[in-house]
A and B are shown apart, each in its own frame.
Chain A
């Protein structure tokens, strides 16, 4: 039973990442009607925002010491990060918490990338068939990941967890179980909470702001909204930017869990597409629900008890779920009737 809870928890943080990526994909599909295969690349770029940020703030000034000698007899090099020199103690905090702080870098960068992507390339593809949209964004994904590879190389770039958030939390104690029954890495808990709050803020944004209301109206009936004199294209462009930001933020916070390399996007892309389809094309709650469900299902399938009965099930469970859903209920878990149903 404890193992069961643990696996559910493990699944939830992975599910959080799936849900965030799928949420962005669905936003783009629901507003612009574009199937964006470059969305995984946006997740990857977000992760590399964290890498870049850390590289920038750990730039060091190297001073040769006048008195001390290194073991080789040469003057000792004293390395002090510029951040520490300029900001003092806050600089150290900045370095320690580089991953959360890089969210601040990621937001403008992802917004810019998202909007320029939409304006530069994707707007020409609204009227083209889905197959061509898939192809052009797939090509774009290759280009983006190769550019990242040129700058950061092919090796994974591990990012540290802030000191205070390292280690594991003993969740079992909180619910009255014995010690060390359910321990869970704190950072994964942070990630879960983070993804929930991002999801909540996206929904709140769409639900409670005028901008969100217009966007929802545009999703329902684009033509009527534009006939009412509202520049719906501009809002949809901004929504594309927001979708890129969501993917980017998901990527930033995921870096301590999985060291990012340039293929990260492609790895997540296939899974998140399956999440979108299982949730129902164009359904935002569906994407979130399917994201968490598939995350949990995947980690439950990797329990030894399950693997003993069905060997190899952990490898294919997500695809299997997708196939079954598509055959039995093609509009997905929460998809609207009539939207992309055949």
Chain B
């Protein structure tokens, strides 16, 4: 199981080092506080999982937020009913999000292309709307699902007395908030990354890539693609569920807004921005977006004045006025612009940019310098089934 190609092993080790030293190298960037670090790890896991579906098979799902939400709710319910143990919560999240993904995938995968996107979108929106209205007994609607002092917590109660304050999730007595929470998420991320690496290089992964290149041809050669697609969909849904579970573990409050379709949209943005079909790309995309969301949005005019202080005064105020529209509250504008530019000029995302630059610097060397990049240009393009 652990015999992976040398190249993959190097990538994994480098990735592990980068992730585990995040508290150190993010400090100069002002992002080295536990809450944000946890988000970095969690959303990276989400993006890695999404890439298994979208990157490998090319099926664009707009409904992954639903699995994230189901995972969060499942984890909080496991806290409420059984125990504050995060591993148990993750098992719960995996089970329920997997089940949910199986049901939605089974139906949605009967169609492909844009119809698949619309079907997943419809299911996710249905879950979101129901979570807000009829399912309130389970989801607690707008208030969100929270821990209370009266929760049964059946397993915990066998060993410890009911405390007077709300418990936090803990593993071997280490509370899962702060840096410990981050390292827990980081370890799960590394496991997820490793599994994604194995999937990508396995025959199963090759099959999925084949589906992306030309599903018809795969069918003609005698493969029934449906079970493969469904497996990929469920795996990717489970990743989202685990990410949702981790969100609940680090902060036991689950709300329905996690299931809204804009959350799925954000996930798509992360994957595209980093580079679809690459392993590292989606992670980078997730980090950039989360960094922007938390750091960039906190910029205000005085920060900008300091930043542009070297410019002449009149000029400075103009520059500050213009750039202030792009930071703080307006950071979505930057995000949208960045996204449009990436899709127009770098359809392969940041990873393609990195590969192009490195190819320019090392002209003579092996052109496949970009490591695990699956070059979308070299794959045969599927016929566009345009209705013209």
Contact = CB atoms under 8 A, between A and B. Distances in A.
Nearest to A150: B325
A316 interface: yes
B166 to A, nearest CB: 31
B122 A342 contact: no
Interface in A107-148: 121, 124, 127-132, 134-136, 138-143, 146-147
A277 B118 contact: yes
Nearest to B113: A130
B51 to A, nearest CB: 14
Given A312-B133, A315-B133, A326 B118 contact: yes
A312 B269 CA distance: 31
Interface stretch (B201-209, B332-340, B361-369): B332-340
B385 A143 contact: no
B110 interface: yes
Given A312-B130, A315-B134, A323-B107, A134 B60 contact: yes
Given A315-B134, A340-B114, A129 B384 contact: yes
Interface string B361-386: 00000000000000000000010111
A83 B236 CA distance: 60
Interface residues of B, number: 48
A282 interface: yes
Given A33-B386, A130-B113, A131-B58, A139 B134 contact: no
B344 A136 contact: yes
A281 B386 CA distance: 11
Contact of A135 (B119, B126, B268): B268
Contact of A312 (B121, B134, B344, B385): B134
Interface string A146-186: 11011000000000000000000000000000000000000
Contact of A121 (B268, B335, B344): B344
Given A270-B125, A316-B129, A319-B125, A340 B113 contact: yes
Nearest to A135: B343
Contacts of B261: 270
Contacts of B129: 312, 315-316, 319
A35 B114 CA distance: 9
B226 to A, nearest CB: 13
Contacts of B117: 131, 134
B167 interface: no
B356 interface: no
A130 B384 CA distance: 8
A142 B122 CA distance: 21
B333 A146 contact: yes
A142 B339 contact: yes
A319 B340 contact: no
Tell me what chain B mostly uses at the interface: helix, strand, loop, or mixed. Answer: helix
Given A138-B265, A150-B325, A222-B388, A121 B340 contact: yes
Contacts of A121: 340, 344
Contact of A150 (B125, B133, B333): B333
Contacts of A134: 60, 114, 117
A75 interface: no
Interface in A256-301: 266, 270, 273-274, 277, 281-282
A91 B119 CA distance: 50
B179 interface: no
A338 B388 CA distance: 10
Contacts of A326: 111, 115, 118-119
B50 interface: no
Interface residues of A, number: 50
A162 B107 CA distance: 48
Contacts of B58: 131
B28 interface: no
Interface in A290-342: 311-312, 315-316, 319-320, 322-323, 326-327, 330, 336, 338-340, 342
B122 A143 contact: no
Interface in A58-105: none
B336 A143 contact: yes
B123 interface: yes
B329 to A, nearest CB: 8
B358 interface: no
A327 B272 CA distance: 29
A33 B335 CA distance: 26
A138 B265 CA distance: 9
A82 B268 CA distance: 49
B267 to A, nearest CB: 12
A270 B128 CA distance: 14
B143 interface: no
A215 B339 CA distance: 32
B67 interface: no
A33 B387 contact: yes
A327 B118 CA distance: 12
B330 interface: yes
B224 interface: no
Nearest to A281: B387
A222 B386 CA distance: 12
Interface string B313-330: 000000000000100011
B294 interface: no
A299 B382 CA distance: 42
Interface in B71-118: 107, 110-115, 117-118
A192 to B, nearest CB: 26
12 contacts: A29-B387, A130-B113, A135-B343, A142-B333, A221-B388, A222-B388, A270-B121, A315-B126, A315-B130, A315-B132, A319-B122, A340-B387
Interface of B: 58, 60, 107, 110-115, 117-119, 121-123, 125-126, 129-130, 132-135, 261-262, 265, 268-269, 272, 325, 329-330, 332-333, 335-337, 339-340, 343-344, 347, 382, 384-388
Can you list the 8 inter-chain pairs with the closest CB atoms, starting with the nearest?
A: A312-B134, A142-B336, A339-B387, A139-B339, A146-B333, A315-B129, A143-B336, A319-B122
Given A146-B333, A316-B129, 14 more contacts: A121-B340, A129-B384, A136-B340, A139-B343, A140-B340, A142-B332, A150-B325, A270-B121, A270-B125, A274-B118, A315-B126, A315-B130, A327-B110, A340-B115
